[in-house]
Chains A and B, each alone.
Chain A
Amino acid sequence: MAPPAKKRRRTRKKAPAAAVEPADGNGLIGVLPNEVMSSIISLLPSDDGVRTRAVSSLWRDLWLSAPLNLDDSDLRPWRNGDGLVDLITEILSTHPGPARRLSLTNLARVSSTHGDDRYPSFDGWFQSPVLDRIKELHFRYLFRYLNGDVDPLPPSALRFTDLSVASYGRCHFPENLAGVSFPNLRQLTLFDLTNSEATLEAMIQACPAIRSLLLSGNMGFRHVRISSPTLVSLGVSTLRNEAVMEELTIVDAPSMERLLLFETDGGPMNIDVQGAPNLQVLGSLSSSMPRVQLGSTVLQKMIATTVITPMHTVKILALNAGSFELNTFVDILKCFPCLQKLYFTSFVITDFGKTMLNYGALSIPCLNTHLKEIVLRNFRGGKDDIKFAKFFVLNARVLRLMEFRVPIRESTKKWEANQRRKLPKKINRASQALRFDFVYDDCIFRSFEDTYCTHELSKADPFDSMF
């Protein structure tokens, strides 16, 4: 009955008594141990956190002992920039530390009132010992001058080896990144940098444990090559109407499960996926992409110019085209015999007078065994739309759900009933009943925009929450 005579015992915190309203005026919350209260205070925005000091003498010093979360958005952003600079300097010099999180996103590099360059202030802050062990850092200059000047990032912003989550934007990284090391960084966002892709490659090298990487609007990243043993999710987004990444090559990414391309409508982009043997989610690919290479399969504007060597791991695919035109996508669908879910977005620009392929003659492997769900975005009920939908209804043997996202201001029951009438009803199918869902929004469904999904690794389908 007695526990075995093992003397080794891990030291445990002394368990406090169960919460009973005490008579000492500190409330029930006063019985929480200091380390718990510190954690709670540390979760508060900076202004709330500081205000707690005035609650009672018990609370007065909690803020100082709680790991600092310094977020300039919490420091009354309507305060003019110079006041904010002084305040940050003051907090960093009076707080004993350690800090766990720093977010500086509300300051321009140059003061609009005095014309002072704030670079020395930023540099000074980043060098503060209070910040030595931060786990999370978000930094961007408030805006970037478009006159060709660069806004340098202080090298001291890259010294934090405990970082787990970081984002850097609207600045120019130092060209020499030798010695930069982020052994614990899992989640990295780089946006609107003015550097070339050499900086990107050096940063990936500096992050041996990286899991998700989001690249957004980096105009200098033109020919990007990605190699990382740990990267699971890569998101790429370009700013509308600006020059886009010309070439994206996944050289060697054995852990990559998601390759998410947002907002690539700005222009051509060539994709080459060589080393992603575990890729599960891919998209959006566009019919305007001049060249997409998947392993040894080469597609030019989505037409295969080589023998198709399938990728069996891909389960979710997103495609964009000018219209619901299956011709364009037969080949790419043949590349993914195990595809389970397909998002298809039609950006109707012109009404093509196309030659209708005899849809009946197509043979696409994933339709026989795997494709369960299709989402048709910008479905309008036109002749081609219906023909496209009908093809899948008749040929996707395990299809369970077809969702129509309709950009019509007012849906009428009559319109929907009309559509449903046009779709085939009784079909011999292997699986259970096929369901049609109609979803309405009064504006056109655009490219997937929620780039933050790149970092949400627990979502099996990142497109699911993006409308």
Chain B
Amino acid sequence: MASAGSGDEKAATVTLISSDNEHFEVPEAVATLSQTIRHMIEDGCTDGGVPLPNVTGRILAKVLEYCNKHAAASDKDELEKFDKAFVDIDDQATLFDLVMAANYLDIRGMLDLTCQTIADMIKGKSVEEIRETFNIKNDFTPEEEAEIRRENQWAFDD
């Protein structure tokens, strides 16, 4: 429940509700790392909690881990270390869930971080390797694929 007034001893909080009905009470200063939530707070729509129907409790917990750290820490090296560990994930599904959550909740730093992580997974790989990494089926006909390679030959000279 968002509270107002400058005389409060307790900092204002907001309740976030995941798709599987987990409730997270979060200080506003942390939650507003999400521009989406910040707008909702500004619009006064947060009484009774903010439902986030597309973010599971498990993912939301991770998102809040990021927000907590970035709202509190100011040491750049410390944050760098944290970010590196944060995206050191074996499980692609979790990584993509985090990208989508960051996109939906509009958390700039987390979106940049997760996008860069995925870009790093693509960098330096051949087309075949990219397909294998992400389990993508090649749906080109041989002619189509040859044409793309020919049009952009300089990038395919290996």
Which residues of A are at the interface with B, using a C-beta cutoff of 8 A?
1-4, 6, 8-10, 12-13, 15-21, 25-33, 35-36, 39-41, 43-48, 50-57, 59-60, 75-76, 79, 87, 458-459
Contact = CB atoms under 8 A, between A and B. Distances in A.
Interface in B32-83: 36, 39, 43-48, 53-56, 59, 76
A39 B115 CA distance: 7
Contact of A52 (B19, B46, B130): B130
Taking residues whose C-beta sits less than 8 angstroms from the other chain, chain B's interface range is 35 or more
Contacts of A55: 127, 130-131, 136, 138
B137 interface: yes
B39 A79 contact: no
Contact of B122 (A21, A26, A48): A48
A57 B145 CA distance: 9
B139 A25 contact: yes
Contact of A76 (B44, B111, B157): B157
Given A16-B100, A19-B93, A48-B122, 20 more contacts: A3-B45, A3-B46, A15-B100, A18-B54, A19-B100, A25-B136, A27-B134, A33-B103, A36-B99, A36-B100, A39-B115, A47-B155, A48-B124, A51-B127, A54-B149, A55-B138, A57-B140, A59-B136, A76-B154, A458-B76
Given A6-B43, A32-B96, A48-B122, A15 B53 contact: yes
Given A29-B136, A55-B136, A50 B43 contact: no
17 contacts: A3-B48, A4-B44, A4-B45, A6-B43, A10-B39, A13-B104, A18-B54, A18-B59, A19-B96, A26-B137, A44-B122, A47-B155, A50-B152, A51-B152, A57-B140, A59-B136, A76-B157
B136 A30 contact: yes
A54 B147 CA distance: 9
B148 interface: yes
- By secondary structure, the B interface counts as helix
Given A28-B134, A44-B119, A52-B122, A75 B154 contact: yes
Given A39-B115, A53-B148, A3 B47 contact: yes
Given A39-B115, A53-B148, A32 B99 contact: yes
A394 B56 CA distance: 60
Nearest to A63: B152
Contacts of A30: 136
Given A33-B103, A39-B115, A79 B135 contact: no
A54 B54 CA distance: 31
B137 A56 contact: yes
Contacts of A13: 103-104
A contacts with B: majority SS: loop
A269 to B, nearest CB: 31
A9 B136 CA distance: 37
Interface of B: 19, 36, 39, 43-48, 53-56, 59, 76, 92-93, 96-97, 99-100, 103-104, 111, 115-116, 118-119, 122-127, 130-131, 134-140, 144-145, 148-149, 152, 154-157
Given A27-B135, A56-B136, A8 B43 contact: yes
Given A47-B155, A51-B155, A56 B140 contact: yes
A21 B93 contact: yes
Contacts of B59: 18
B156 A18 contact: no
B122 A40 contact: yes
Given A12-B36, A54-B145, A40 B119 contact: yes
A2 B49 CA distance: 10
Contacts of A50: 152, 155
B93 to A, nearest CB: 5
A27 B140 contact: no
Contacts of A57: 139-140, 144
Contacts of A4: 44-45, 47
Q: Which has the most chain B C-beta neighbours within 10 Å: A20, A21, A55, A87? A: A55
A29 B134 contact: yes
Contacts of B127: 51-52, 54-55
A27 B133 CA distance: 9
